[in-house]
Amino acid sequence: MDCLKQKVKQGKRVADDELKDEAKMEEVAVEVEPKTGISFHLKLDDGKQLGCVGLRTKHALGMNLKIYAYGMYADSEKLKDLLKSKIGEAPATPTEEMYQLVIDSDVCLVIRWVIVFPGLSTSMFKKNRDDRLVESIKKLSGDKKNAELADTIMAQAPDSIKVPPGSVMEIHRIPGYILQIKVAGEVVSKVEGELLSRAYIHMYLGDDALDKDAREKFGTYLLSLF
């Protein structure tokens, strides 16, 4: 009987611990990407803050296909120092200069994707050149010969990695103009280059951004840093 009571008590403790863990998870603040319902934590474990959420779509077969929802995270303190040193006082509204400062800098950023479109793999990303990235490369360099830089992003990633809906991919911009790609928390590709790094962020924050609403939200976040 005593053994039975002890097991019941142990089971209750385990259940209580699980309830506490669930409560903690519910307390984590998130922002929801409205077109997909996918949520993103307002802060990463390393302290980077969420600047905006958005959606990547691709026009094909007469439709705008949802490819992935994304959240863009930044080192707020480093961005604050950058903005104040270059601009000083906060403008009334986000300016092109603000966006360009972020694009041209090598302040740490993380773009976290949550895949929406079914049947994707790293092999598909490698074989299909990102036309929007190519546009950004051409716009920043003025040279069509640099288009092949877009192919280097996933060049090191194994072809076998599948990224079904719900999979998490992360693109980390690291100081030194390095782009590091993670799938499910594991580094699968890493490439260095100032033009490529700037062009990649330009896709999200440039004047023809993938999601213009997300760009505006990131601008509001930048204003808050002043």
Specify the CATH number for the domain of residue 115. 3.50.70.10
Q: Which residues contact 178 (CB under 8 A, 6 or more apart)?
A: 172, 190, 191, 192, 197
Residue 156 pLDDT exceeds 50? yes
Residue 9 pLDDT exceeds 60? no
| Number of other residues whose CB lies within 10 A of the CB of residue 203 | 20
Question: pLDDT (tens digit, 9 = 90+) per residue, 19-70?
Answer: 455 445 446 799 999 999 999 999 999 999 999 999 999 988 788 899 999 9
In total, how many domains does the chain have?
1
Give the C-alpha separation, 73 to 109, whole Å.
Answer: 6
For residue 210, the enclosing domain spans: 2-224
Confidence (pTM): 0.85
Q: From residue 138, how far is each of 50, 199, 200 by CA, in Å?
A: 28, 9, 12
